[in-house]
Structure formats: structure tokens, C-alpha cells
Amino acid sequence: MATLFLTCGLPGSGKTTLAKRIEHDRPALRLTADEWLFELFGPDPEPPEVMRGAPSARRTAVEALQWEIAAAALRLGVDVVVDWGVWSRRERDDYRARAKALGARTVVCFLDVARDEQWRRVSERNANLPPGAFRIEEQYLDLWASWFDRPTHEELRDDDDVHIEDYSGAYPRMFEREAAAIRALLGEPSITIEHHGSTAVPGLPAKPVIDLMVAVADLDEAERYARVLAGAGYEPVDAIYRDLMPDRIIAIRREYGVRCCHVHLILRDGDEYRRNLAFRDYLRAHPDVAAEYASLKRRSAQQHRDDREAYRKSKSDFIERVTNHALAEIRSAS
């Protein structure tokens, strides 16, 4: 599934810098309207949209052309970064709907920056303008901020849909990289970290999110580690999961607004730790059962694309049955 990235923020927030990083790292097609406007029309001494709060005819035409290119790329399964700022909720919702109609998902990359830092960055830009280019005066920052619809937490969470991809041979390397980073953050080079979930089973389709189990002695240790991870930018999961899974604390890491790993700080002597490993190992050893699970996952993802919890519940009976069988085999062999 292709991803449409929308850079969202005011001037000086770092939108184009982020767009270039996504372009390089994903990789993705980057469409930055300001660059096209400069190349096509040269520097604009005073864009009329600055004063009236509406896009100029030139910008409207460029963005329309860029969207045609973006849509064609998304249809082909190519990730796209649209670097326009998307100041209004209505505009963001419009492009979400367009992307969904093309079979793509949308990630809004909201860049929030303190007012003083914003003006510092804009001042640097002003000091290096080409001849004739529009100079941003400080009073414009407050005017633009009054027009800007800041994305809410709920809006950004709307982008956390469920989608399944074919297995990638990069998953083991991604796990090793994440595990090494977590050990370094925690200052625990020998702590046990296991790769679990569907990305840990070769050939199994999965959400492209690496699940890691970090073995902890007790929940106090889990809380301490969770604080360290939070300081490094990891996010807590919805509070519902703390009630559903009292043996662990889960943290999320994102890259460019996209979930890339779940860290389960889980009791190493708990039943669920053993059950997760038993399920993983059984699927690795029984490709026929893994294939059955793959079919279930694809059906469930189609039915519950917009509801992660419903997707999780739809698999629970299968996981319970296979895990119990795996544990029975382990007991009979010991």
C-alpha cells in the first residue's frame, strides 16, 4: 500500500527539510509547490495570498498539476510527499479521501515549532533571499497562525489504520537495529529482547511494524524503562491496552508519523511472555499453520481497516488455539 505524506505546518517549521528526508529515506516522490513556483515564475516580490489569506492563481495551478502527478504515483504504489503546508482541516480531509479512493493511506506530518524558533528560522531565510524574493516580516507569522487549523491529537490518530503487507526480508535487520537502539537508550547492553509478532515469522504477511518484547523483572522496572523511552520520543499506547495487558507497558516509535515499532516492556516470568514465544516458534516450524493465519490476517485487515482493536480481537481465537497446542507439545516433549 502506498503512503501519501502531507507536511503540515507554518513557514519556518521545517516542512521541506522533513519532506527531503522522507524523499530520501522511504524513498518517495517529493512535490514541493514553492520550488515549482520559483522555477516556473521566478521570485515573487509579494505573493497576493499573503495579504488575503487565499492561494494565488499560480499556486492553485501548480498544486493541481502536482496532485495529478501524485495521484498517478499512488496508483502505481509509489509513496508521495506533498509539501504544501495543508493549513486547513478541510484540505487535509480532502486529500485523505482522495488517497483512500486510490487505495493509499495518508500520514499527516505535523511540525510544531515554538514562535521564537520559527522567527529565528525565518530570519535566516530572509538573510539569504535571492533578488526580488518575498521577505517575510514578523507580523505575518501571527497573521498566518490565526489562519492555521492545528491538527488535533484525534485527527492525527485517524491515520493509524490497519494495513497488511507481504513479508519483507528486511524485518530481521530492522529488529536488530531497534533492539540495539533500545539497549543503548536503557543502558542495558545484555537485556533480553525478543522479536515477536508477524514480522518475526518468515513469509508471513504483516503490518510493517516491528514488535519487540523487552523482558523485565517487575512493573516498576517497566515503568522506569518506559520513562526513558518517552524521553527519546516513544509514545504510550491507548490506555485501554494497559487494562487489557496488565503484565506490560507498551510504547510506540514512529518515523515521519508512521508507526515503525511497538516495544512491549513485559514481565519475563509471566505467562504471556512464554505464550508469545510459543506462538511465534510454532508458526516458524509449521508453514501450513502460518499460511492459515496469513489468510485470517488478510481477511481481518480488510474488514477492520479503521479499527485496530477489532482487528486484534478478530485473531484472538486462532492465536489462543494454536498457542495452547504449541504449549502442549512443549510440555509433552519435556
Question: Can you tell me the distance from the alpha carbon of 246 to that of 264, in angstroms, rounded to the nearest whole number?
Answer: 11
pLDDT at residue 254 in the model: 86
Mean pLDDT, residues 237-241: 76
Residue 158 banded pLDDT, cuts 50, 70, 90:
low
Residues with Cβ within 8 Å of residue 62, at least 6 apart in sequence? 33, 36, 37, 40
Q: Dihedrals φ, ψ of 28, to 5°?
A: -150, 160
**What grid cell was written down for 243?**
487494562
Question: Can you tell me the distance from the alpha carbon of 22 to that of 20, in angstroms, rounded to the nearest whole number?
Answer: 5
- CB burial of residue 52 (10 Å; 0-12, 13-18, 19+): exposed
Is residue 142 scored above 60 in pLDDT? yes
Taking CA atoms, 245 is separated from 21, 224, 238, 273, 277, in Å, by: 36, 18, 11, 11, 16
Mean pLDDT, residues 253-268: 89
Residue 45 banded pLDDT, cuts 50, 70, 90:
low
Q: Which of 73-82, 102-111, 220-229 has the lowest mean pLDDT?
A: 102-111
Angle between helix 33-41 and helix 57-75 axes, rounded to 10 deg = 130
Average pLDDT, the chain: 90
Is residue 139 scored above 70 in pLDDT? yes
Q: Is the dihedral of CA 125, 129, 133, 134 positive or negative?
A: positive
SS3 18: helix
pLDDT 10s digits, 51-97: 455 678 888 899 999 999 999 999 999 999 999 999 999 999 999 99
Mean pLDDT, residues 140-166: 82
Rg, the chain, Cα only: 23
pLDDT at residue 155 in the model: 82
Mean pLDDT, residues 186-202: 96
Residue that wins the pLDDT comparison between 280 and 302 = 280
Question: Can you tell me the distance from the alpha carbon of 327 to that of 333, in angstroms, rounded to the nearest whole number?
Answer: 10
pLDDT at residue 48 in the model: 46
Question: Can you tell me the distance from the alpha carbon of 216 to that of 267, in angstroms, rounded to the nearest whole number?
Answer: 5
Neighbours of 140 (CB within 10 A): 16
Mean pLDDT, residues 124-141: 84
DSSP 105-131: EEEEEE----HHHHHHHHHHHHHTPPT
Percentage of the residues of the chain whose pLDDT score is greater than 90: 66
Percentage of the residues of the chain whose pLDDT score is greater than 70: 95
Task: Measure CA 96 to chain center.
Answer: 15
Residue 47 banded pLDDT, cuts 50, 70, 90:
low
Is residue 46 scored above 70 in pLDDT? no
Terminal CA-CA length for the chain: 44
Mean pLDDT, residues 234-258: 84
pLDDT at residue 157 in the model: 67
Q: Are 180 and 190 in contact (CB under 8 A)?
A: no
Q: Are 211 and 217 in contact (CB under 8 A)?
A: no
Q: Are 17 and 119 in contact (CB under 8 A)?
A: no
Q: Are 43 and 133 in contact (CB under 8 A)?
A: yes
Q: Is the dihedral of CA 160, 165, 170, 176 positive or negative?
A: positive
Amino acid at 202: P
pLDDT at residue 83 in the model: 96
Amino acid at 17: T
Residues with Cβ within 8 Å of residue 120, at least 6 apart in sequence? 12
User: What CATH number belongs to 171-333?
Assistant: 3.30.460.10
Is residue 272 scored above 90 in pLDDT? yes
Q: Are 176 and 225 in contact (CB under 8 A)?
A: no
Question: Can you tell me the distance from the alpha carbon of 58 to that of 54, in angstroms, rounded to the nearest whole number?
Answer: 12
Neighbours of 299 (CB within 10 A): 12
Class of domain 3-157: alpha beta
Residue that wins the pLDDT comparison between 133 and 121 = 121
Domain boundaries, the chain: 3-157, 171-333
SS3 133: coil
pLDDT 10s digits, 316-331: 999 999 999 999 999 9
Q: Dihedrals φ, ψ of 150, to 5°?
A: -65, 130
Is residue 239 scored above 90 in pLDDT? no
pLDDT at residue 160 in the model: 61
Residue 213 banded pLDDT, cuts 50, 70, 90:
very high
